[in-house]
Amino acid sequence: MILDDVHRGIQKNRKRKRLGRGPGSGQGKTAGRGHKGQGSRAGSSRKPTFQGGAMNLVRRIPKRGFNNRWGLTVVVVNLGEIDKAFEAGAEVTLEALAEKNLAKGRYDLLKVLGDGELTKKVKISAHRFSKSALEKIEKAGAEAVVLPGKTPVAEKGKKAEK
């Protein structure tokens, strides 16, 4: 290996390609647009989905379902998982669940479900609890803390008016 070769051909800031600057530049005359046709004219553009007049893929594929752009992402954790992962007297928070890989990624709400048994006294903080989960938490002598969720835009508008 020759040390000179390591950085050869690498440019930190490459100059832009100057089109239509004469035959000596290699990009003169038609400036890479070819001869005649739609793409050679000024202001020509095409939809990214255009496929040469064929029915484009976006329109050929069937569309199903509904994607709610304002829907909240809810992550669920079962009581059985909490019981396995935490010791008695521990505080089960959103951060603690992320550390134990029980509630991974980005989400808006955390819901605790009642699948499994809770045998330890722990303090569980979440946005929502199922009825069965609340019953099992009370039965085990643990504590359930309901966290506030995202404030809807309509409520923010009402507060601003007041």
Task: Express each pLDDT in 7-64 by its tens digit.
Answer: 888 888 988 999 999 999 999 999 999 999 989 999 999 999 999 889 999 999 999 9
The whole-angstrom separation of Cα 154 and Cα 160 is: 10
The whole-angstrom separation of Cα 60 and Cα 77 is: 39
Contact by Cβ (8 Å): 112, 129:
yes
Question: What confidence score (pLDDT) does residue 113 get?
Answer: 96
Domain boundaries, the chain: 74-149
CATH fold for the domain made of 74-149: Ribosomal Protein L15; Chain: K; domain 2 (3.100.10)
pLDDT in tens, 91-141: 999 999 999 999 999 999 999 999 999 999 999 999 999 999 999 999 999
Question: What confidence score (pLDDT) does residue 3 get?
Answer: 86
The whole-angstrom separation of Cα 133 and Cα 78 is: 8
Is residue 149 very low, low, confident or very high in pLDDT (cuts 50, 70, 90)? confident
